[in-house]
Structure 1
Amino acid sequence: MKYYLLPFCICLLFYYSPINAQENISYDLGEYTVYYNVFNSSLIPAEVAQAYHLTRAKDRVYLNVAVVKKSGGYGFAPAKLEGVYRNLIQQQFPLKFIEIKESTSTYYLAPIHFNNEDILHLDITVKPNRTGSETTFTITKKLYVDQ
């Protein structure tokens, strides 16, 4: 009887695993889409981190933001970005965005220092093409220290 439960338990593990989770990675701004993700700084190769003066640490992540125009061409648009991040006890820290320009794209990185298993709320204000109206949206992430 116990051998019949094993496949069922494995199926349950996969169903409730993070692999199955659907996470929103974009925000619609009409003629622009804002794509974002948060990644651990250890994923940045040492030579790239040195070239862009980025800090690599087990308790540091980067918020990566790109603003893409929906019509034509490569579509990456320069933007004005501001923001803050808050922890669960509402301590607030500024997001200091670094503009990274490559031949066909512009994106922005903001370093975030955190404690293991922190749940952070990131309030991001975007102004596409650095003109026009601003839009603010919030994302929430639970972060883990890189082992």
Structure 2
Amino acid sequence: MFSDSKKEKSPMETTSNQNIIAQGTKVTGDLVSEGDFRIDGQVEGNLRSPGKIVVGKTGFIKGTLVGTDAYFEGKFSGKLTLSGTLTLKSSAHIEGEVILGKLAVEPGATFNVNCAMKGAVKDIKPSDRQTPQTKQPEGSERTA
């Protein structure tokens, strides 16, 4: 009636991988992972991940960061490229060059960057550009 067999997950079946750089740890070089990153220590170099990147209050990245979404409470200096959202908490300090899809900033965060937003661009129609002085009331005509 009940089976004693248990399914064991192979290492390839794990659904979530999180890499942690703990406080007091300094990593110099390139880091590449398919999983998420939590950084409470220091990273000097290039970091690339399609997962979520979280930088805690004691975390610091100096270099290049390429990913999807990032959440900062700590510091960053360098080039940051995200296809998704950059979230800055009040303790965040970001300097350098930033290319991203969306930006969320809490009051108190430092954001000293050259920033380009590469999200969906909304076209502005010529009729949307008219100022109140140039709009004509319905039924009236303008003669020159």
TM-score interval, normalised by the smaller of the two chains: under 0.3
- TM value normalised by structure 2: 0.24
Q: Which has the higher strand share?
A: 2
Of structures 1 and 2, the one scoring higher in RCO (CA 8 A, sep 6+) is: 1
**TM-score, normalising length from structure 1?**
0.24
Structure that is richer in helix per residue = 1
Pick the structure with greater CA Rg: 2
